[in-house]
Amino acid sequence: MFTVNTSSRRIRRRSALALTVASCVIAMAGCGSDPGSTSAASGQGAIEVQSCGRTVSLAKPAESVVVIGGGSVDTLFEMGVGDRVVGVVGVHAKPAEKYRGQLGELPDIGDALPGREALLALHPDLVIAEQGRTLSGDGGTPTTEQLEEAGIAVYIANSGCEKNSATNKVSDVFGEIKNMGALLGVSDGAKTLNERLQKVLDDVAKRVDGRKPVKVAGVTLIGSDLWVNTGGLDVDIAELAGGSNSLFDDPSEEFKILSKEEITAANPEAILFFPSTTTNDPVGFVQQTFPTTDAVKNDRILIVNPDTAARTGVRPVYEVEEFARFLHPEAFKQE
Amino acid sequence: MRPRSDRVPVTNAAKATTLWGVVSVLCVVLVAMGAFGIAFGAVNIDLGTVADVIWNRLLGGSQHIGGVNDQIVWNLRTPRVLLAAAVGAGLALVGTVLQATVRNPLADPYVLGVSAGAGLMASITITYGAAALAGLPTSTTAFAGALMATVAVLWLGQRGGRYSPTRLVLAGVTLSYLFTGLTSFVIFRSADPDKTRSVMFWLLGSLGQAKWSNIAIPTTVVVVGCGYLLLQTRALNAMVLGDEAALSLGFPVHRLRWKFLISTSLMTGVLVALVGGIGFVGLVIPHLVRIIVGPDHRRVLPIAVLVGAIYLIAVDLLCRIVISPEELPIGIVTSVLGAPLFLWLLRRKGAER
pTM: 0.78
Per-residue model confidence as pLDDT tens digits over B139-192: 888 888 988 998 898 888 888 777 788 888 899 999 999 999 999 998 887 767
In a domain, B207, yes or no: yes
Average pLDDT of the residues of chain A: 84
Residue B194 is which amino acid?
D
Nearest by CB to B326, from A110, A146, A254: name it: A110
Evaluate whether B256 touches B234 at the Cβ level (below 8 Å). no
Three-class secondary structure of residue B7 per DSSP: coil
Q: Which residue of A has its CA nearest to B75?
A: A146
Chain B residues touching residue A113 (CB < 8 angstroms): 326
Let me know if residue B101 belongs to a domain.
yes
Domain for residue A320, yes or no? no
Mutant choice from A109, A113, A116 vs B, greatest count of B C-beta within 10 A: A116
DSSP codes, A102-145: HH-S-----SSS--HHHHHHH--SEEEES-GGGGBSGGGPPBHH
Could you count the other beta carbons within 10 Å of the beta carbon of residue A212?
10
DSSP A280-294: S-HHHHHHHHSTTSH
Note whether residue B172 is domain-resident: yes
Angle at the Cα of A27 from the Cα atoms of A21 and A31, rounded to 5 degrees:
145
Considering the domain boundaries, does residue B216 fall inside one? yes
CA of A15, closest CA in chain B: separation in Å?
A: 30
Whether ipTM exceeds 0.90: no
d(CA A271, CA A274): 10
Q: Specify whether A184 is located in the same domain as A265.
A: no
What's the CATH code of the domain at B92? 1.10.3470.10
Is B4 within the bounds of a domain?
no
Question: Could you report how far apart the first and last alpha carbons of chain B are, in Å?
Answer: 33
Percent helix, strand and coil across chain B, each rounded to 5?
Answer: 75, 0, 25
Q: For A104-115, write each residue's pLDDT tens digit.
A: 889 999 888 899
- Regarding whether A117 and A225 lie in a shared domain, the answer is no
Provide the pLDDT for residue A30.
Answer: 34
Measured torsion, CA atoms of residues B190, B193, B199, B200, in degrees rounded to the nearest 10: 130
Summarised one tens digit per residue, pLDDT across range B39-87 is 999 888 888 888 888 888 888 766 666 678 888 999 999 999 999 999 9
Residues A134 and A265 in one domain: no
What would the pLDDT profile of A138-173 be if each residue is shown by its tens digit?
888 999 999 998 899 999 998 888 776 788 999 999
Closest CB to B71: pick one of A111, A120, A254: A120
Amino acid A301: pLDDT? 96
What range does the domain containing B218 cover?
A: 16-347
Q: Are A165 and A245 in a shared domain? A: no
Chain A interface mutation, best of B49, B65, B194, B214, highest count of A Cβ atoms under 10 Å: B194
Closest chain B residue to A252, measured at CA: B191
Q: Pick from A165, A197, A229: which residue ends a domain?
A: A197
The answer to whether position A115 is within a domain reads yes
pLDDT at B215 over 90: yes
Is the residue at B1 inside a domain? no
Residue of A112, A138, A256 with shortest CB distance to B201: A138
pLDDT digits (tens, 9 = 90+) for B84-124: 999 999 999 999 999 999 888 888 888 888 889 989 998 99
- Cα gap A35→A169, rounded to integer Å: 33
A275 and A142 in a common domain: no
* Of the listed ranges A75-79, A205-209, A250-254, B24-28, the one predicted with least confidence: A250-254
Asked whether residue B9 is domain-assigned, the answer is no
Residues A190 and A229 in one domain: no
Mean pLDDT score, B12-34:
86
> What pLDDT, on the 0 to 100 scale, is given for residue B42?
87
Q: Are B42 and A118 a contacting pair at CB < 8 A?
A: yes
Query: Please, how many CA atoms are within 13 Å of residue A195, restricted to the half-sphere of its CB?
Result: 6
Q: Per the structure, how many domains does chain A have? A: 2
Radius of gyration of chain A (CA): 21
- Pick from B75, B191, B327: CB nearest A139: B327
Q: Is residue A178 over pLDDT 60?
A: yes
Chain B residue nearest residue A132, CA to CA:
B194
Do A124 and A263 sit in the same domain of this protein? no
Cβ contact B75–A253 (<8 Å)? no
Residue A205 is assigned to a structural domain of this protein:
no
Put simply, the chain A residues between 121 and 160 with a CB less than 8 A from any chain B CB are: 121, 123, 131, 133, 136-141, 146, 149-150
In a domain? residue A290:
yes
- The single-letter code of the amino acid at A39 is S
Q: Does B244 touch chain A (CB under 8 A)?
A: no
A334 found inside a domain: no
A73 in any annotated domain: yes
Average pLDDT for B23-35: 96
Task: List all residues of chain A from 96 to 115 with a beta carbon under 8 Å from chain B.
Answer: 108-115
* CATH code (residue A146): 3.40.50.1980
Q: Which residues of A touch B320 (CB under 8 A)?
A: 117, 140
Judge: A137–B76 Cβ closer than 8 Å, yes or no: no
Q: Which of A168, A197, A226 is the last residue of a domain?
A: A197
Q: How many residues does chain B have?
A: 353
Q: Which residues of A, range 232-271, sit inside 8 Å of B by Cβ?
A: 253-257
Range of the domain at A173: 8-197
Whether A139 sits inside 8 A of B43 (CB atoms) is: no
Query: How many domains does one find in chain B?
Result: 1
Question: CA-to-CA distance for B140 and B118, rounded, in angstroms?
Answer: 9
